[in-house]
A and B are shown apart, each in its own frame.
Chain A
Amino acid sequence: MYVVLNSSIQISEFERPQPESTSEATKFLIQCGDLNYVVSTPVKILVETLLTSQKLNIPLDKSYQRFSQNKASPEEIMALANKHIPSTLFSGAEVPARKTPFILSINLLPERILSYAALPLALLFNKWLAFGLVSVFIAIHIWLFPAISQSAITGIPTGDIPIFIASMLLSYFIHELGHISACRRFNCPHGDIGVGIYFIFPVFFADVSKAWRLNRIERATVDLGGLYFQAILLIAIDYYAFANQSSLAYLLSWTITFTMLHTLNPFFKFDGYWLLSDLSGITNLHEKMAKALQAVKNKLLHQTPIDIQNNKTLLLLIPYSLLTIAFFLYVASFLLKKLIQTTAEIASMLKELPVSGFLSAAEYIFYQGEIWVFIKGVVWIALIFTLLVFYTKRIATLIYPKAQATGK
């Protein structure tokens, strides 16, 4: 049976090997809707062959000869296409639901509105302008840092809290707008801005999946776009804080700096993760951790040498994977501590109830305003327990990937 490919498929170059490299070959990116595949040259030739044959209505063997300079029968070409082209690229194929990293998410600003808003902002990515603005940010921020860090201790009056929260939300939004504007700078399509829950974190996010079509440096610029926009915002906040000696502005500056550093964490899929992936050229970092850990396990248990000569990515993947495991264990221990603490608090609350009997205790909790404390405690326990199970499974999957794949 002849395969018909989705006509919206787009092909572009993904990675050109280093001139001195003898083992690597040019990789290509195939995009179709929300799907992105990196393929080798023979797969790209197969896709081009089929698409051209469909579009120009020419025989498959002629189309194949044109792209590969080789001869093959239509049956041979079809057999290869069925074997090597992902079925999700076939016309009319059922595309699986998009894999997102969120437990739940809501889109706040659609792509069509953002594309207008981000167009003028894309000018901020001019090389010299960016250099100037970042230099000003560094100079002002370092100069005012003693006062900024002091604000974390002195705090702000309760009445300023709503303005503080609104300003922080604006800062998160500006961060995401930075990613979108970087896409616009490189004429790359982008998606929406939204909020969601990722692991234990409430997050703001920008969908930049189409940025895979950009080169490494451009992708890294998209990764840093959020921090760059927040740095510009901080110039204004720092100036205001200094000019008005505003404790609120100083605290904002401190908290935004903290979130900027937090987002450079490469172990979760924050900006630091994408930056590391793009600069190193290693795609699907989390997925590839399993292979690196397998290599370490085989070395430790079976004395199998680690083949760094043929797989240089292990040089980065092994330390990254070990650090990620250590980080996950740290988060898991934090959650375990919190679980024990919260359980003890709830138990102590129940023990100190001035009434006895289940119904009397329930009535007391409900009517004496303790209900929210109780619900919060129970939700915390349920949430932490779920996360602990998740983390344990995740670590087990990384160390024993085969057992997970076969469902054993």
Chain B
Amino acid sequence: MAIENNKEIQLDTYSVEELEARFEMEAIVDDGGADADTDGSCECKITW
């Protein structure tokens, strides 16, 4: 085919890539800050 014989196009092949949807997210988390009556130790946790 005439198209395939074109040198410039031969160098640059036909490629298609579908991009993922962009959702910028921030998770609802807290640092698990200890309660006042604990020994102060804390653990990361997810809040629901």
* Chain A interface (Cβ < 8 Å from any Cβ of B): 25, 29, 34-43, 68, 70-73, 76-77, 80, 83-86, 98-102, 151-155, 168, 172, 175-176, 179, 196, 198, 200-209, 211-212, 222-223, 225-226, 251, 254-255, 258-259, 262-263, 268-271, 274, 283-284, 286-287
Known A-B contacts A40-B15, A68-B6; the reply to A153 vs B34 at CB < 8 A is yes
Q: Which of B11, B24, B28, B40 contacts A271 (CB 8 A)?
A: B24
| A254 and B21 contact, CB distance less than 8 A | no
Whether B3 contacts A40 by the Cβ 8 Å rule is: no
- Chain B nearest Cβ from A160, distance in angstroms: 11
Main secondary structure of the interface of B (DSSP, over half): loop
B16 touches A98 (CB 8 A): no
CB distance from B40 to the nearest CB of A (A): 5
Query: Cβ of B27: which chain A residues have Cβ within 8 Å of it?
Result: 198, 201-203, 259, 262-263, 268, 270
Q: Which chain A residue shows the least CB distance to B1?
A: A76
- Measured in the bound complex, the distance between the Cα atoms of B24 and A272 in whole Å is 10
**Given contacts A155-B35, A204-B26, are A100 and B16 in contact (CB under 8 A)?**
no
- Nearest B residue to A35 via CB reads B18
Contact A100 B21 (CB under 8 A): yes
Q: How large is the interface on B (under 10, 10 to 19, 20 to 34, 35 or more residues)?
A: 35 or more
> For residues 1 through 40 of chain B, which have their beta carbon under 8 Å from a beta carbon of chain A?
1-3, 6, 9, 11-31, 33-36, 40
**A35-B18, A153-B40 in contact; A203/B12 too (CB < 8 A)?**
no
Q: A152 to chain B: which residues have CB within 8 Å?
A: 31, 33-34, 42
Nearest-Cβ distance from residue B30 to partner chain A, whole angstroms: 6
Nearest first, the 6 A-B pairs at minimum CB distance are A201-B27, A36-B19, A258-B31, A152-B33, A155-B36, A203-B25
| Interface contact A101-B26, CB-CB below 8 Å | no
- With a cutoff of 8 Å between Cβ atoms, the chain B residues found around residue A98 in the complex are 21
